[in-house]
Structure 1
Amino acid sequence: MWSRLYFVAQALAGGAWWVAVFLSPAVREATLGSLDPVIVAIFDIPLFVCASAVAALGSRVAAVIAAVWTFIVTGCLAVYATVTTEAGLGVLLMAGAAAGSAVGLCFVLLGRLPTEWIVSRGPFAFRPANARASSFAHVATTAFQILIFWGFFLGVVPLVLAFVEQRWGLSMPFPPIAGPTGFVVFLLASALGLWSAAAMSTRGAGTPLPAAMPNRLVIAGPYRFVRNPMAIAGFVQGVAVGLLLSSWLVVAYSIAGSLMWNYVIRPLEESDLEARFGDEYRRYRDTVRCWWPRLRALPAGQIGAMHDADDVKAPVVS
């Protein structure tokens, strides 16, 4: 039902956009640059607008056509905008349509988002770490993970986004205080992330990543105040990097990542924790909030009551 409503909205929005393209030179220039709208319309109207309308009637083939075409247009338009510095707004609009079409297609074909693939396949599948490895090995592995993940998600991706934001003509001025504020916030968030990683790797016989989960229940350090300190640190770091780069697109990327984690990843993680640890995890979940820290750390006696024997596996509290 929701997928059909989405494709209805996409068809109407696509049709309205094409009307605006032919009626408004400003819209045409902002979204298509110097591209000939007639040539583009010959392909886009049947493959995007009409296919979305037919998909809204329940056609799986039309949904596939609309989604695939949307991804092709997004990629081609992104290359065009990066080379020519034109049509940046069009890239953003098509990227949003591509994401929506992908979600809609999943519901049309599967009736759901295949989120279970996250916990069962690939590098982020839930797996315990090697329990026989030394604490030094777990700390070293965690440090390597931090280097790779922070370097990619807080370095490479933001720099690419800031670059294309400039090339696509989408940059906006930030106040002078944004840079110093971002620097301070980044340091504080990084300290929280490192504290969380240290607590998980030294006390849990594992790492913060689901691919190498701790083997003991970890409710120490920042986990005594909030259930997801590493996630909080990561999202705040991303916003701070956006302030440092004066890039609203990086800030938006960080917010989008936090929403995806909260609504897609976190439910899977918490279901896994509850299934494996039952009342143990439920007590912790009911005592310590997910995002809003406690003013006082969880009392040591209460923490002890939550621990099982040393052979109990730990939840992925990250």
Structure 2
Amino acid sequence: MRWGQRYFAVQAAAGVLWWIAVFTVPVVRTTTLGGLDPVLVAVADVPLFVGASVLAAFGIRSAAVLATGWTAFVTALLAVYATVSTAAGWGVLVMAAATAGSVVALCLLVLGRVPTAWVVSGPFAFRPAAIRSSTATHVATTSAQIVVFWGLCLVVIPVLVAALEHRWALAVEFPAFFGPIGVVILGAASALGLWSAYVMSTLGRGTPLPSAMPNSLVIAGPYRWVRNPMAIAGIVQGVAVGLILSSWLVVAYALAGSLVWNYVIRPYEEADLSTRFGAEFRRYRDTVRCWVPRIPADQRVPAADQRAKKPR
């Protein structure tokens, strides 16, 4: 709860400083508000953003709800304005960050925690794949997942983000050689992702999707050296796509995804694996790193000697 109050206190102070800059520094006014009249915006924003944030800092929950709702509303309106006018792009980014922070702070203030469990609930709840399904079925399902998720996360969303980056006048010119480097990195990361998916679906008797998790603990292939090669592949792929598109926002999108995966999804995934595979997974977790590949002493054996470990 205290962290939520502290955030709203910082947000209130930042809001005051921002409004002072808006009226005293022309470049701040034009990059964050475009051609909007700052006086008219301030009439509503000062009480509903700054004022409500001050009250929220004292633990008044209704004020926190008001500040969060207003921040999200302004972000949406500013995004529409920036898209139409090609101005105020930096204002959209600032308000989007404020919205994310306000939502987290509101959860801390009202619930005492951030309810991350909803991410792995419903169709995304952790469940093992049907054990009677054949290996071919797991491979086919995994292939379909790759097509859908890579198409969405590595094509549709990055292209949209890059388009908005240019539309909002936020684009930064990348050196010409970044594009070819991005292609090479994308190819290598994609190969790692495909290799990881193949090993998981053939030896693990399941898929990467939480709703059809492997029935066996996989320590073969790239899993011998790092616990989450598919996550690493996905993050690096996103960064590579950002280089190819010359979009720093796409790179930021990929890095933000890594934080969400590491702090929101990974704890639940590892708790599920610990429950299903017990001490065997915990030994694996203590031996093999999550992000930095290395060859542990007890796994320096030929790949043919490695196998998937079935749950007991």
TM-score by length of 2: 0.95
Asked if the contact 1:58–1:108 (Cα under 8 Å) also holds between the matched residues in 2, the reply is: yes
Per the alignment, do residues 230 and 305 of structure 1 end up closer, same or farther by CA in structure 2, a change over 3 Å counting? closer
Listed as ranges, the matches of 1:96-245 within 5 Å are 96-119=97-120, 121-245=121-245
CA distance in 1, matches of 2:185, 2:90: 30
Kept in 2, the 8 Å contact 1:284–1:306? The answer is no
Matching residue's letter, 1:103: V
Q: Secondary structure at the residue paired with 1:132?
A: coil
Matched-pair contact (CA < 8 Å) for 1:7–1:55: yes
Give 1:305 deviation, angstroms. Answer: 9.5
Structure 2: tracts of 5 or more residues without a match: none
Aligned equivalents of 1:6 and 1:257: distance in 2? 22
Q: Distance in 2 between matches of 1:255 and 1:131?
A: 35
Provide structure 1 residue ranges, at least 5 long, that are not aligned to the other structure: 314-318
User: How far off its partner does 1:287 sit?
Assistant: 1.2
CA contact 1:173–1:246 (8 Å) conserved in 2: yes
CA separation of 1:306 and 1:187: change in aligned 2, threshold 3 A:
closer
Q: Equivalents in 1 of 2:36, 2:280: separation in Å? A: 60
User: How many angstroms apart in 2 are the aligned matches of 1:174 and 1:101?
Assistant: 33
How far does residue 303 in structure 1 lie from its aligned partner after superposition? 10
TM normalised by structure 1 equals 0.93
Counterpart contact for 2:72–2:99, Cα < 8 Å:
yes
Q: Which residue number in structure 2 is paired with residue 316 of structure 1?
A: none
CA contact (8 A) 1:8 1:53 kept: yes
Cα offset, 1:248, TM superposition: 0.4
Q: Which amino acid aligns with 2:136?
A: F
User: What CA RMSD, in Å, does the superposition of the two structures yield over aligned residues?
Assistant: 1.9
- Deviation of 1:208 after TM superposition, in Å, equals 1.0
Deviation at 1:307, TM superposition (A): 6.2
Measured against aligned partners, the alpha-carbon deviations of 1:150-198 in whole angstroms (never above 9, x if no partner) come to 0011111100110000011110111111000000000000000000000
* Alignment partners' CA distance in 2, 1:20 and 1:217: 56
Provide the C-alpha distance between the structure 1 equivalents of 2:211 and 2:244, rounded to a whole number of angstroms: 31
Over residues 28-83 of structure 1, what are the superposed CA-to-partner deviations in whole Å (9 max), with x where a residue is unaligned?
Answer: 11100011111111111111110011000001101111111111111110111011
Aligned to 2:55: 54
Note the C-alpha offset of 1:123.
3.0
SS in 1 for 2:36: coil
Matching residue's letter, 1:279: A
Contact 1:142-1:207 within 8 A present in 2 as well: yes
Change (3 A) 1:252 1:305: closer
Q: Distance in 1 between matches of 2:295 and 2:175?
A: 32
Give the number of aligned pairs: 310
